[in-house]
C-alpha cells in the first residue's frame, strides 16, 4: 500500500482500512510510542487486490497489505524514529512506531513552522496537543508518508488525496457507481478507534472522551468516511494539567 488521532502516525494506512485500532502514549518530552492493528473488509480487499495486480510487475507479490514494505516507506517520513509492521494475515497489519516529537511528524518542508498538522506545547506543569486535517493539507501529508498510499487513495477517488469538493453522500455515490454497493457500504461502516495516554490528567478534550482511572486517557472513535472525504476540517484538541 502506497490521516486520526495518536499523531496519526498510521493515518494513511488507517484511511485505507475498514477497521483499525490504535493505542499509544504521548511522553512529556513530546515523543510518542504507538501500536496499531488495521484490517480490510472482504470487498475492499478484493478491490485493492485487483488494483495491485494491474500495477504489479510480472511475478510480483499479490499480498494486499505488505507490512514490511509499508514500514520501509514510513521509515523515511519526517519525525519517525522507528517503525515495525508485520502481517498477521494478508489483509491485516500490526506493529509499532516511535515518533521523535509529535509536532515534527509529517511536517511539510518549506512552510511556516514546518506546516505540520500536529501541534504540541509543553507549558510548565501542563501541555496541549492538537490535530487538524483538511483538504489543503491532507494530500501533502499523505504524499510525505507514502506515495503508494496516495496512489491507492487516488484510485478510490478520495477527496483526502484529490482535494475535490465532494460531500460524504456524493463521494459514496461515486464509489457505488464505480466499484459497487459493497465497497461503498464497507467504507460507510468503517471506523478508526484510538486510545492515547497523555502525560497527566486531561483538563479539556475536543472530539473525544476521557477514560482511565487516572483520567489521562483520551478515546476517539472516528468514521472512516470523515477521513476519506474531509468534507469539514477534522479538529482534535487535548490539554492536560
Domain for residue 227, yes or no? yes
Whole-number pLDDT of residue 129: 85
Domain for residue 108, yes or no? yes
Q: What does each of the 241 residues of the chain score in pLDDT, given as a tens digit?
A: 333 333 333 444 444 455 677 888 888 888 888 888 887 777 777 776 666 555 554 444 455 667 787 777 777 777 788 888 888 887 788 888 888 877 776 665 544 444 557 777 887 788 888 888 788 777 766 666 555 566 667 777 888 878 888 999 999 999 999 888 988 888 888 888 888 899 899 999 998 999 988 899 999 888 888 888 889 888 889 998 8
Considering its fold, how many domains does the chain have in total? 1
SS3 112: helix
Q: Supply the pTM of this predicted model.
A: 0.75
Q: Contact at 8 Å (CB) between 117 and 141? A: yes
Domain for residue 74, yes or no? yes
d(CA 47, CA 127): 43
Whole-number pLDDT of residue 168: 94
d(CA 169, CA 236): 23
Q: Contact at 8 Å (CB) between 117 and 137? A: yes
d(CA 237, CA 241): 14
Domain for residue 21, yes or no? yes
Beta-bridge partner residues of 85: 95
Domain for residue 166, yes or no? yes
d(CA 22, CA 36): 5
Domain for residue 232, yes or no? yes
| Residue range of the domain that includes 136 | 6-240
d(CA 187, CA 156): 11
Domain for residue 1, yes or no? no
Amino acid at each position: 500500500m502506497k490521516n486520526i488521532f495518536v499523531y496519526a502516525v498510521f493515518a494513511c494506512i488507517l484511511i485505507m482500512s475498514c477497521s483499525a485500532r490504535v493505542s499509544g502514549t504521548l511522553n512529556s518530552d513530546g515523543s510518542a510510542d504507538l501500536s496499531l492493528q488495521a484490517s480490510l473488509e472482504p470487498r475492499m480487499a478484493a478491490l485493492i487486490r485487483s488494483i495491485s495486480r494491474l500495477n504489479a510487475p510480472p511475478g510480483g507479490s499479490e499480498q494486499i497489505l505488505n507490512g514490511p514494505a509499508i514500514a520501509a516507506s514510513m521509515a523515511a517520513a519526517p519525525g519517525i524514529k522507528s517503525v515495525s509492521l508485520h502481517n498477521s494475515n494478508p489483509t491485516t497489519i500490526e506493529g509499532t512506531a516511535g515518533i521523535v516529537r509529535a509536532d515534527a511528524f509529517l511536517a511539510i518542508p518549506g512552510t511556516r513552522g514546518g506546516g505540520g498538522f500536529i501541534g504540541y506545547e509543553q507549558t510548565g506543569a501542563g501541555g496541549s496537543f492538537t490535530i487538524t486535517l483538511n483538504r489543503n493539507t491532507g494530500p501533502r501529508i499523505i504524499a510525505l508518508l507514502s506515495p503508494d498510499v496516495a496512489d491507492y487513495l487516488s484510485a478510490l477517488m478520495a477527496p483526502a488525496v484529490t482535494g475535490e469538493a465532494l460531500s460524504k453522500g456524493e463521494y459514496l455515490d461515486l464509489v457505488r457507481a464505480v466499484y459497487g454497493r459493497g465497497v461503498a457500504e464497507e467504507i460507510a461502516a468503517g471506523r478508526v478507534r484510538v486510545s492515547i495516554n497523555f502525560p497527566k490528567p486531561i483538563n479539556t478534550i475536543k472530539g473525544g472522551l476521557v477514560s482511565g482511572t487516572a483520567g489521562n486517557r483520551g478515546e476517539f472513535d472516528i468514521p472512516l468516511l470523515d477521513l476519506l472525504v474531509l468534507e469539514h476540517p477534522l479538529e482534535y484538541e487535548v490539554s492536560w494539567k
